[in-house]
Every structure is written in structure tokens, then in C-alpha cells.
Amino acid sequence: MLGSFGSSSHEEQEQEQEEEEQDPTPPNVYLHHQIQPRTCFASAPPIHMRQLLISCAELVSRSDISAARRLIAILSSNSSPYGDSTERLVHQFTKALALRINRYATSAATPTTAFLMIPNHPPATATASTSGSTSNIMAHDLGPNDDALLQSSYLSLNQVTPFIRFSQLTANQAILEAIEGQQAIHILDFDIMHGVQWPPLMQAVAERYPPPTLRITGTGHDLEILRRTGDRLAKFAHSLGLRFQFHPLILLTNEDPISVASSVLLLPDETLVVNCVHYLHRLFKDRDRLHLFLHRIKAMGPRVLTVAEREANHNHPIFQQRFVEALDHYAAVFDSLEATLPPNSRERLAVEQIWFGREIADIVAAEGDSRRERHERFRSWEVMLRSSGFSNVPLSPFALSQAKLLLRLHYPSEGYQLHILNDSFFLGWQNQPLFSVSSWN
């Protein structure tokens, strides 16, 4: 069992509304005002706005910049980060299209910055003190080292949506079942972030008798964040009486992860686990290198490799097809936030404007090596993993029951759906799969 899911009866669990372990404070900029929803879409049906966005993307792909700018002006006047889910979605994609124009417009285009045509529509209660708020900070302007806003939005994402927790909880259960009876565990976690995945697993491991030793090697781009993550995990392990070590491993933006994996020191008696939760898609810009990376991981002999990814194709080489795929994916994501959070949620604003806004800007506005968010559907990962020598390990019925319980306790909505396909789990909104989790050896 993981975390608190085994501490009470099934009936008590269904009644209990547990609070998130993390209680991140949203960026201070949101504390200046209450978010007030707008209703400017009364005369513009969502299907019409979706078609306008697709038409604008087509104009951009044809380099018809003047027509695209005129359409962007229309879209911006009918969208807002404070409205309903459709308004907010249109707002983010319109900003991303304007950014693409700014980056790739011909020299004959007007030098006026396209973003000047996209007001953020601050609510009526906003004052001059909100002029520096995050709603006025474009997601694409946030670099990989802007940790104050990015990390806060990530923690908000972990709190208000089930996407991260579902991925981590399911991966953890696969790991626990794979390491049953092993006395020395080494987890290699690619892009460990704040390490929020590991306390529930550490607690479950500490309850075993005799408790095994646990070593985590966590990769990341910021040494200070890695050190703080290691300190928190070490303190938690100490409170459990668990023998624990943490090793930070810097993975620079342009560094080959193959060399990083090769530098990991494995002790003879250790059982290796490799965790790639929402990581592998970043390596898809070079399929050959990704194949070599997976072959290298396979050669390390892990007891289990856990993989979680978006169930979407945001890596299509044709811009317009990639745009439509992203529009459908994030429409479902924004609809789920609309259904499960109150209208004035500041956490939702942080998640949509910063975290998802940054992803949308990358998918829509970036090309070539600069594009990082290269999500692919599960069938692509399945083919690639099998060709690298991995075999799918079926996720257990207990892992499925835990995932269902997670949704009932923390995100009570009939809109979230769980499905099983090819021994892997899929979390979706309504009938659209959004995330997949699988395990391999």
C-alpha cells in the first residue's frame, strides 16, 4: 500500500476528503485581487472560436501575416485568462500564435510586437498594484531557471489536478511490486523536481521487515533545487528510520542523458529502478539518440522502468496538425479544471498561465531544436520501448484500485476516467485520454 490509502476502511476512505500534503503558496502576485470570471462569449460559440483559432494557425503556416494579425485581434478581444474554460484556452493559444508570428514573420511584417494586440483583460477589481502580476508575464518569457514562478505553478498543478499524482502513484505501485523482497534499492529518477513522488514510496518501504536500504539518484538542471530536494527526502527518511542516501546529478540542457546514465554508480547488491515520469518526450527531437538512451538503460539491467507520458501527438512535423492536436488536448485539460475548481481559483490561474501556458507556447511557437514538449501517443512509446529490448509489465489490479481511490478522494468528478490498454493505464477527461502510465523490464 502507498501512503495513507491503507490506513482506514474502504467506506471511511470514500467519505474522507484528505488534504494535499503539499500546501504551496501560489505566487504572491495573485494575492492582490480576486479573479472575476467574464462572459464575453455569449455571442461567440466555443466551436466558432475553435475554428477561428485553426484558421489563424493556417494563415500563420502560409505566412499570411497581415491576415493572421487581424484574426489574432479578433481572438484576443473575445478571450481572457479570467473567463470560462473556452475563453482561457483561446487566450493561451492566441498568445502562442502571436509569439510564433513575432519569431517567424517576414522582414516586411510590421515591427509592432504582436503581443501588444492581446490585452490580458484584468478584472474590474484589479488595481494598479496588479500591473506586475503574473497575468502580465508571458509564459514564453520564462526561462528554464525562473524557478520561483515555475516551481510554484508545478506545485499548484500537483495540488489541483490528478495528472501528476496519478502518474507518480501508479509508477510507485509498479516499483513496490517489482522490488518485493529486495534489500538494497537504487532509484534513478530522471528530472526529480521537488521529489514529491517519493515520500509515499519511502513510507511503504520503511514498513517492510526488514526494511531495505534506499538510494535515490535524482537528475535535474539546478543543483540548489536538487540539494534542497535531497535534504527534504533525507529528513523524511530519518523520521521513518529508513537507511537512505541521495545523490544529485546535474543534467544540463544540452547534455546527452546517455552519458549521465552511464555515470551512475551501481553497487553489486543493489536492485536498480529507473523512473521516467513525464521525461522521455524531451528526448524525442533526436530519435536515434533516444533509442541509444533506452538501449543504455536496458543494459543497466533495471528491475523495472516506469514511464508516464501525455497521450497526445505534439511532435508532428506539420505545424497545423500539431496545433489542432494540442488544441484538442488542452481543451480537455482546461475543461477538467473548469469542472473541478471554483471560478476564482488563483491556483488554476497559475497552472494555466504559467505551466500549461509555457507548454502551449513551446508546442505552437517553437520549432527545431528549441522545441522541448514533444509528446507522443502511447503506441509510439510502446514500439520504441519494445524495439529497445523492453517488455511490458502489466500493472496490477491493486494499482488500478488505488488510482480510482485517488480520484474519488481528491478529485471527485465523474469526468475523470481510467482505462486499461495493453497492460497500461490511461487517465482521461470525459472520453479523451490525456495521460498514460506503463512499466517495463
Beta-carbon contacts of 375 under 8 Å, excluding residues fewer than 6 positions away, are 281, 309, 310, 312, 313, 314, 315
Q: Has residue 137 got a pLDDT over 90?
A: no
Q: What domains are defined for the chain?
A: 160-313+374-440 (3.40.50.150)
Confidence of residue 146 (pLDDT cuts 50, 70, 90): low
Q: What is the pLDDT of residue 105?
A: 62
Residue 198: its pLDDT value, please?
98
In this prediction, residue 112 carries a pLDDT of: 39
Confidence of residue 353 (pLDDT cuts 50, 70, 90): very high
Rounded distance between C-alpha atoms, residue 282 and residue 356, angstroms: 16
| Interatomic CA distance for residues 314 and 324, integer angstroms | 9
CA distance 121 to 349: 13
Residue 132's nearest CA partner among 205, 22, 29 is 29
What pTM did the predictor assign?
0.82
**For residue 344, what pLDDT is reported?**
86
pLDDT of res. 370? 86
Please tell me the distance from the alpha carbon of residue 70 to that of residue 229, in angstroms, as a whole number: 47
Helix axes of 46-61 and 319-340: crossing angle, nearest 10 degrees:
150
pLDDT in tens, 166-201: 999 999 999 999 999 999 999 999 999 899 999 999
- Predicted pLDDT at 104: 73
Specify the pairing of strand 424-429 against strand 416-421: antiparallel
